[in-house]
């Protein structure tokens, strides 16, 4: 499992969202309050953000725990952005991929994260792997379930699917192939956020001054956080949020 969040809003130092709130993503790496599976998210972390006028995000990832990185506090203080995606990782299965397995995953203008686990990984998803072109399988960013989910999502985006549609179709396909999987996916292109609640918690918050945070759990005790129902697709902009129920795949 993992903890993750995305932000759209006024340009701010990214530490104001990722590091400084009382129950920030930083703190959730060792003391999450709503995490249903696992207790410590110390198997890597990452922050991806968008600079003004540049549609391609920058990214900073490390293999170790977020609290052990001495550079992040300075980066969070001086790097300003109006859109970001960040995550701390609790690996489902130990592997050799180090920071390559830490979200956010990226391609073009997108940032992506997965909170959850695929049941029966990797064998259960062999039928879905067969649907991907060989070059996409060979180009996997890591040998973990999250990287494979990103390959499935990105394949749909590349063929023209809208971000929410790409997430929803991926969740339904994986849930059919691997029942019991937890598939909370998070995606942004710097102007919109798409996310799924499928097996774990998801919340959103309107930011004072205009903006939106979508997160695995609240980073403070504000009463204005809204929990997203399980089996739901969320689409968000800075000013609007839309929930769409997701149906279980037919058995």
Q: What is the CA radius of gyration of the chain?
A: 17
Nearest to 156 by CA among 141, 174, 144: 174
The kind and range of the H/E element at 15 are: helix 15-18
Token pair, residue 194, equals 């798409």
Active-site hit among 2, 72, 85, 233: 2
Rounded to the nearest 5°, which phi and psi values hold at 243? -105, 135
Rounded Cα distance between 18 and 152, Å, is 27
Buried b (16+ CB within 10 A) or exposed e, 189-207: bbebbbbbbbbbbbbbbbb
Q: Confirm if 234 and 196 have CB atoms less than 8 A apart.
A: yes
Rounded to the nearest 5°, which phi and psi values hold at 156? -70, -40
Token pair, residue 172, equals 């339904």
Let me know if 2 is a catalytic residue: yes
The stretches of 84-235 forming alpha helices (DSSP H) are 126-129, 134-138, 145-158, 163-177
Q: Residues with catalytic annotation? A: 2
């Amino acid at each position: 499992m993992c903890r993750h969040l995305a932000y759209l809003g006024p340009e701010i130092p990214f530490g104001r969202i990722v590091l400084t709130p009382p129950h920030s993503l930083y703190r959730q790496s060792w003391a999450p309050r709503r995490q249903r599976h696992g207790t410590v998210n110390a198997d890597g972390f990452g922050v991806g953000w968008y600079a003004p006028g540049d549609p391609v995000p920058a990214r900073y990832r490390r293999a170790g725990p977020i609290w052990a990185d001495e550079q992040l506090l300075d980066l969070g203080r001086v790097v300003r952005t109006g859109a970001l995606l960040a995550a701390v990782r609790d690996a489902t299965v130990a592997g050799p991929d180090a920071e390559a397995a830490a979200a956010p995953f990226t391609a073009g203008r997108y940032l992506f994260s997965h909170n959850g686990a695929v049941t029966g990984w990797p064998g259960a998803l062999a039928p879905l792997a067969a649907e991907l072109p060989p070059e996409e399988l060979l180009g996997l960013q890591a040998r973990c379930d999250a990287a494979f989910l990103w390959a499935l999502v990105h394949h749909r985006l590349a063929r023209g699917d809208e971000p929410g549609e790409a997430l929803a179709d991926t969740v339904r396909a994986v849930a059919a192939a691997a029942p019991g999987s937890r598939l909370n996916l998070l995606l942004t292109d710097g102007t919109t956020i798409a996310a799924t609640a499928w097996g774990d918690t998801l919340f959103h918050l309107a930011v004072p001054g205009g903006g939106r945070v979508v997160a695995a759990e609240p980073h403070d005790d504000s009463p204005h956080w809204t929990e997203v129902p399980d089996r739901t697709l969320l689409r968000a902009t800075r000013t609007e949020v839309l929930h769409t129920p997701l149906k279980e795949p037919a058995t």
